Amino acid sequence: MPEGDTLFRAARTLQLALGGKEVTGFRSELVKARNVDRDFPVKGRTVEKVESVGKHLLMHFAGGLTLRSHLLMNGSWHIYRQGEKWKRPAHRARVVVETADFQAVAFDVPVAEFGTARELARDPAVASLGPDVLAEDFDEDEAVRRLRERSALGIGDALLDQRALAGVGNVFKNEVCFAERVHPFTPVSLLDDATLLRLVRTARSFLKMNVVASSGAGMVTTRRTDPSARLWVYRRAGEAWLTERLAP
C-alpha cells in the first residue's frame, strides 16, 4: 500500500495540474462517485485544492464538494495532457477529472466518494486519523500521546495505526524502528516518552526525505546512492549485517 509520502507527492502533482482550473469533464466507474455527480455535477466547478491526509487524497471542488480517494494496494493517480496516450488501459480507469489542459486519471482505485466538508468531518475514515506526519502543523506531542494510548500493542503495530499518526506504512515502520534500535515487537508500555518521541521524529524525517526525493528512484532512508542499499532493513531479511554495510 502506498505510504504517506507517495500520497503527498500525488496530491502536489494534481494540485499543480488542476488547481484553480475549471472541470470540463468528469466520469467515474465507481457507483458512489457516479451517483453524486449525477445529482451535483462536477463539470463546471473549479478545483480549489488537492491535498493528502495520511493515506487519503482529497480533491476539493467549488461549492463545498470534496472527492476522497484511497489507493489501497494497487491504485494510482496519473496526469496526462489532453490527447496524450494513457500508460494503462482505459478499462482500469475508475475516475477521470478533465480540464482544458489535463486529464487526471485514477487507475484501479477502489475507493472514491464525494462528500461535503461537514460529511468529511464526520467520516470515520478521515475524522479518526491521528496527526498527519507530513502536515506543516504536525503535533508530535499528540502523536506520542496517541501511541501511549496503545500501550498493549507492539510499537511496530502502533506506528501503523493511522489513528495514532497518519502516513506511516510497513516500509517506514521497519526503517524507523531499525534507525532508533527499537525492536518492532516491543510493547509500547515498555518504551518511555523520550523513545516514542524519537520514533515519531524519525518517522517524520524519513517521510519528508522521500517527499523531496525523486519519485522514480524508490524509497530511501539511508541517504546512500547504491540502489541495493537505499533502505536499511525492509525486504532484506537473511542478509549478513556487516558493520561497514550499515555505516552512513
- Start-to-end CA span in the chain (Å): 28
Question: Coil, strand, or helix at residue 69?
Answer: strand
Which residue is associated with the grid cell 477521470?
A: 96
Q: Which residues contact 11 (CB under 8 A, 6 or more apart)?
A: 50, 51, 52, 57, 58
54: left (phi over 0), alpha (psi -120 to 50) or beta: left
Euclidean distance between CA atoms 17 and 117, whole angstroms: 23
Q: What is the CA radius of gyration of the chain?
A: 20
Distances in Å between the Cα of 227 and the Cα atoms of 104, 168, 221, 231 are: 30, 22, 11, 9
Catalytic site positions: 2-3, 55
